[in-house]
Chains A and B, each alone.
Chain A
């Protein structure tokens, strides 16, 4: 790249009036940057503050121990907590299996330039950009009704959430496998190990921390997701914990959605308290991810 540099000495500029204007603009710019950074911090603080203010009166044992009730003082979220655990754990395990298989195939077996590899990669990018409500439509058309006809059950919800978090999980699993140095693989091959032996005994053990943090992020997305489940019956009045894939269910985000829309102030307090429970679960998940990341930081 070439550009014309004027022959005028630049030093003279430093002391004339334009430099004061420049300094003023510099300050204005930095002020703008501070303002937006402050907006982000204030958002987080007011968000947590508003929730605590509204919900602290219901932050007690009856909140997590009770089932829904027409009396706001007795209404609890036990069914939603168990529903969320059911849906998130099952979808997490299924998507982890699919994501690991896909990542291992793409990174360890397939020819990087093959058509199939490209097709799968483009497909993952496409899926990652699909709005979550559209997965709800897919679930409504094929899984809840229509082809599979599972109805509005735990099974339907975890199938849809599996599809939704799959792209995140695949991308992070691939990154984790990519980070394993090829010298490790070559060493194993040189000792006579087959490809699969190399993967199971050498590559996966060193990639597991990366895969684990990635899947925890995926799981936290599933835990907080509400849009597709609106279409899949999670807003229903459910007064028992799920017992299997065929059970009715509700989840924390949907219970929050329902109570937030209630007219009575006391019900809104239940929703706010449920938000605090949800946020605490999410923070706990992220702490686990951070601990895994820090414990296993290995340099090659």
Chain B
């Protein structure tokens, strides 16, 4: 460290001090520029999506995009009705959420209220490993295990082939479950201890405390977590691309192959679409729709947390 350069009576800063102040300001300015560069990424995303989408909607009317149920954008003659993708996206998303949300909640209840410290210390790392498994590995798992051994066995309403929305939905649900568990645990941890102790003091059992006290008290956080799970499921690409096939089926039979918005983008990216062609622009139009939907879901989740949070004390 330097020796003290400011003596008591000295009011004017020394030259050294001034130089130091100036370099501090330069550092601060440089850091600010780097920090702001993240904002440019968001603008970049929006700009990258909007401009080709505008070109796309010049060629294909919005009426055709949302008014037709045939989606063959890369064929000749092409069809640009986006409904099969929307139906596929929501089928996979619903299946995933039906598994991930109750599953995540149940594991969170178990970990936070029932499990002993010893069990929790063993379970938590397992869940962390599961949360860290790459999506392409889950895709492999869907094709080689979930499809033939789970989806084909439990779906009795139609023949489940190699590719199905069911197999994709189940696998995406399993993939999101650890994240849902963590978010639900965080929401439950925010419930004050005194509320839970009070419930036990009144003679409630663990189950009654979970469903009657912890669940309602943590509801805003749990709903917000569920909305994030929805958004994650909608954005998932690789699992769906591998497990649900690449036919955009306008069907509500989840035993059939389906294409989602994100898996279409991945599929279109596999073939080399020439820049500027309508097929190339389709990637951006569907990407814009995907971005808008997930953006609103994430915003909704943040709103729920800030608006409906029960504040204790």
Taking beta carbons and an 8 Å cutoff, which residues of A are in contact with B?
10, 13-14, 22-23, 25-26, 29-30, 32-37, 39-41, 43-44, 46-47, 50-51, 54, 97-98, 101-102, 104-106, 109-110, 116, 119-120, 123-127, 129-138, 140-142, 145-146, 163, 166, 170, 191-196, 220, 223-227, 230-231, 235, 253-254, 256-257, 260-261, 271-272, 275, 278-279, 282-283, 286
Contact, CB under 8 Å: A257 / B136 = yes
**Contact between B139 and A104, CB atoms less than 8 A apart:** no
Secondary structure call for the B interface: helix
Please determine whether A30 and B177 come into contact, CB atoms closer than 8 angstroms. Answer: no
Residue among A119, A140, A194 with the most chain B CB within 10 A? A140
Given A40-B126, A50-B145, A132-B235, decide whether A120 and B36 contact each other with a Cβ distance below 8 A: yes
B60 contacts chain A at the CB level, 8 A cutoff: no
Tell me which residues from 97 to 134 in chain B have a Cβ below 8 Å from any Cβ of chain A: 102-103, 106-107, 109-110, 114, 123, 126-130, 132-134
Q: Does B168 contact A (CB under 8 A)?
A: no
- Chain A residues near B207 (CB, 8 Å)? 25-26, 29-30
Q: Which of B69-77, B78-86, B251-259, B282-290 contacts A (4 or more CB under 8 A)?
A: B282-290
Is A36 touching B42 in the complex (CB atoms < 8 A)? no
Partner of A131, one of B138, B178, B290: B290
Report 20 cross-chain contacts, Cβ distance below 8 Å, ordered by A residue.
A26-B207, A33-B107, A34-B110, A35-B106, A40-B103, A47-B133, A105-B31, A105-B35, A116-B32, A116-B36, A130-B291, A131-B234, A131-B290, A132-B237, A137-B283, A142-B44, A194-B20, A231-B283, A279-B137, A283-B129
**Neighbouring A residues of B241 by C-beta, 8 Å:** 230, 257
Hey, which chain B residues are within 8 Å of A278, CB to CB?
A: 134, 137
Q: Do B291 and A224 touch (CB < 8 A)?
A: no
Contacts of B109 in A (CB 8 A): 33
Determine the chain B residues whose CB is within 8 A of the CB of A54 once the complex forms: 144
CA distance A300 to B23 in the complex (A): 31
Chain A residue at minimum C-beta to C-beta distance from B234: A131
* List of A residues within 8 angstroms of B103 by Cβ: 36, 39-40
The docked-state distance in angstroms from the alpha carbon of A167 to that of B277 is 33
B126/A226 in contact, CB under 8 A = no
Residues of B1-41 whose CB lies within 8 A of A: 1-2, 4, 6, 20-21, 23-24, 27-28, 30-32, 34-39, 41
Instruction: Return the chain B residue nearest A126 by Cβ.
Output: B42
The reply to whether A230 and B237 contact each other, CB–CB distance below 8 Å, is yes
Q: Knowing that A43-B174, A272-B140 are A-B contacts, what are 13 other residue pairs whose CB atoms are under 8 Å apart, sorted by A's residue number?
A: A36-B102, A39-B177, A43-B130, A46-B145, A101-B31, A137-B284, A141-B51, A192-B4, A230-B269, A253-B238, A257-B241, A260-B139, A286-B128
Q: 9 smallest A-B Cβ distances: which pairs? A: A131-B235, A224-B134, A129-B298, A36-B106, A231-B269, A227-B237, A101-B34, A141-B48, A105-B31
Partner of B287, one of A34, A116, A137, A163: A137
Interface centre among B34, B52, B210 (most CB of A within 10 A): B34
In terms of DSSP, what is the predominant structure of the interface of chain A? helix
Is A102 a contact partner of B38 (Cβ separation < 8 A)? Answer: yes
Q: Evaluate whether A123 and B44 lie within 8 angstroms (CB atoms) in the complex, with A37-B106, A260-B140 already known.
A: no
Quote the shortest CB–CB distance from B135 to chain A (angstroms). Answer: 6
CB <8 Å contact, B135 and A227: yes
Give the residue among B38, B49, B123, B178 with the most A Cβ atoms within 10 A.
B38
Are A124 and B38 neighbours in the complex by a CB distance under 8 Å?
A: yes
CA–CA, A82 and B123, complex, Å: 34
A136 and B141 alpha carbons, distance in the complex (Å):
24
Task: Give the residues from 165 to 207 in chain B that come closer than 8 angstroms, CB to CB, to chain A.
Answer: 174, 177-178, 181, 202-203, 205-207
Contacts known (A126-B295, A163-B41, A260-B139); A134 close to B134, Cβ less than 8 A: no
Q: Which residue of B lies closest to A144 (CB)?
A: B275
Instruction: Give the contacting residue for A125; candidates B174, B203, B302; CB below 8 A.
Output: B302
Contact A125:B298 (CB < 8 A) given known A33-B114, A105-B32 = yes
Q: Tell me if B220 is interfacial: C-beta within 8 Å of chain A.
A: no
> Nearest chain A CB to B185's CB is how many angstroms away?
13
User: Contact at B37–A231, with CB atoms within 8 Å?
Assistant: no
B93 at the interface (CB under 8 A from A): no
Instruction: Give B255 Cβ to nearest chain A Cβ, in Å.
Output: 21
Task: Look across to chain B and name the residue whose beta carbon is closest to the beta carbon of A195.
Answer: B24
Task: Tell me if B35 and A102 are in contact (CB < 8 A).
Answer: yes
Query: Across the interface, do A133 and B27 meet the contact criterion of CB distance under 8 Å?
Result: no
Residues in chain B near residue A30, CB distance under 8 A: 114, 206-207
A98 B34 Cβ-Cβ under 8 A:
yes
| Residue of B174, B269, B294, B295 ringed by the most chain A CB atoms within 10 A | B269
